[in-house]
Structure 1
Amino acid sequence: MKAIETKYNGYFFRSRTEARWAVFFDTIGYKWQYEDEGYSLNNGRWYLPDFKLFLPNDKIFYAEVKPLNFDKHENRDDIIDFRIFSKSINHPIIILTGQPEFMAYDVILPTFNIPTEHHNEHTISLGMFQDYEPYIQIADEYWWQYVVMDENTGIHYLNIDERQARKSFGKRYLEAIQSSKSIRF
C-alpha cells in the first residue's frame, strides 16, 4: 500500500508518519531539515536520510522514519547502510518506527563506547526523546528496566505512565506526542 504524500510547514512529506514526526520536532523545539542531502556510501549504495536534527545542545542526530512493522532482520541492508553512514559522518542515527509514542527507538551510534563482551560494533542502542539535556537520552542500565520489547515486532515500548513520562522526559515531550497525533493535514 502506498503512503499518502502530506504537506506540512511548506514541505511535501512522503507519508503522514513523516509529517507527524516533523510536528513532533517542531513542538519539542528541535530544528530539522527534511531530505536535505543524499550520500554515496562506500558500499556503492545511495542513502538519503529522512531528517537531520539539530538538538538545542548543538548535537546533530539523523533520523530515519520507518513503518511500525519495520523488521531490522528482514531489512538488514538498510541497517548496514545506516551503520556505514553513521560511522562516515560521525553522527548517530535514530530509527523512528511508527508515529511518535512513549517508545525507546533504535539508535545506531558511530562508535559504540561500552567496552564489554556483550556489546560490539553491531550492537544497536536505544534512545528516548526528552525536552532537556541531552535531548535524546541513550538508554543505560537504569532505563533498560522500563523497556518492554514486543516479541512479535521487536518494538521497544516504555513501561511508564503519563505522569512518569512527564517527570522523566518533560512536559514539552508530552505536548509533542499529543500535537503529532491530533494534527489534521
Structure 2
Amino acid sequence: MTIQPIETSYDGHRFRSRLEARWAVFFNVLDISWEYESQGYVLDGTPYLPDFKLLLPDGRTVFAEIKNAEVSEHHGEHVDLCRSLARESGAPVLLLVGPPGGLKSRYRMYHQFTPDLQPGSFTAAFFQDYGPKLVTADAYWFQQATVNEETGVLEFQFTDRRAAKAFGIGVCDAVNAARAARFEHGDRG
C-alpha cells in the first residue's frame, strides 16, 4: 500500500506534502529564511527541483531535500541527486528524511552532502538556534549521537532540557511546533 502525500497550504505556499509544510514551520520558528522550489536544475541529464533553498544568517546557501521516513538515507536516486546538486551548485545539500526531529527521537543529525565530498562518504549536520543555525558535526558531536540499528539514523538521546542546552530552546520549540502543526484550517499551521 502506497500512501499518497496531501498537498498542503502554509505561509502563502502550496506544498506537495504535509511533511514539506512541517519543515517550513520548523524553518520559520527557527528563523531560517527559505525559498520553496525556487529553481530547477539538470543534473547528470536528470531534471531536479530541490524542495528548499535555505538562506542562513552567516550568508551560506544550503539546499534541503525532504523525503518521507520510508526512504533510505544511505542510497538511492535521491542520494545521487543530492550529491550531484552539491557538486554542481557548490552549496551543501541536506537530506531531511521524516519529520523535524525524526521519528524515534526528537533530535538527530541529518546527512549533508558537500561539494567536495567523495563518493560513498557523507557528513552530518544538525540545527541550533544561534549562530549559523546549521552546524556540521565534528568528532565531539558524533560521540554524543547513537546509531539507530533499524534505520542507521544518528540520534541524540537527549531530553528536551539537555537539547535546549546543547542546541538552544529555539530548536526544541521548532521541533514541537512542526510536530503540532495542523493544516486543516488554512495557512496557520
Check whether TM > 0.5. yes
Q: Distance in 1 between matches of 2:48 and 2:169?
A: 34
Select 1:144's aligned residue among 138, 142, 145.
142
Deviation track 1:61-95 (CA, whole Å, cap 9, x = no partner) reads 1000011121145x522211111110111100111
Structure 1 match to 2:127: 129
Moved over 6 A (4+): none
Are the structure 2 counterparts of residues 161 and 78 from structure 1 closer, same or farther at C-alpha, using a change threshold of 3 Å?
same
Partner of 2:149, secondary structure, is coil
Tell me the residue number matched to 1:69: 70
Match of 2:6 in 1: 4
TM-score by length of 2: 0.88
Unaligned ranges ≥5, structure 2 = 102-106, 184-189
Quick check: 1:163 aligned with 2:165? no
Distance in structure 1 (CA, Å) of the matches to 2:116 and 2:119: 7
Residue matched to 1:29:
31
Q: Is the 8 A contact 1:71 1:154 kept in 2?
A: no
Separation (CA, whole Å) in 2 of partners of 1:111 and 1:13: 31
Q: CA RMSD in A?
A: 1.3
Q: Helix, strand or coil for the counterpart of 2:109?
A: strand
Partners of 2:162 and 2:135 in 1: how far apart?
Answer: 15
Query: Aligned residue for 1:104?
Result: 109
SS of the residue 1:49 aligns to: coil
Residue of structure 1 equivalent to 2:89: 89
The Cα of 1:134 is off from its aligned counterpart by 2.7
Q: Aligned-pair distance for 1:100?
A: 0.7
Secondary structure at the residue paired with 2:54?
strand
**TM, length-normalised to structure 1:** 0.90
> What displacement does 1:121 show?
4.1
Query: Unpaired segments of 5 or more residues in structure 1?
Result: 113-119
Distance 1:166 1:72, change over 3 A: closer
Q: Which residue of 2 aligns with 1:45?
A: 46
Aligned equivalents of 2:32, 2:73: Cα separation in 1 = 26
Query: Could you say which residue in structure 2 is the equivalent of 1:116?
Result: none
1:2: how far off?
A: 0.5
Give the aligned length: 176
**3-state SS of 1:64 partner:** strand
Return the match for 2:176 from 153, 178, 185: 178
- Give the superposition deviation at 1:137: 1.0
Q: Larger deviation: 159-168 or 24-33? A: 159-168
Partners of 1:173 and 1:88 in 2: how far apart? 30
Q: Is the 8 A contact 2:73 2:95 kept in 1?
A: no
Identity of aligned residues (%): 37
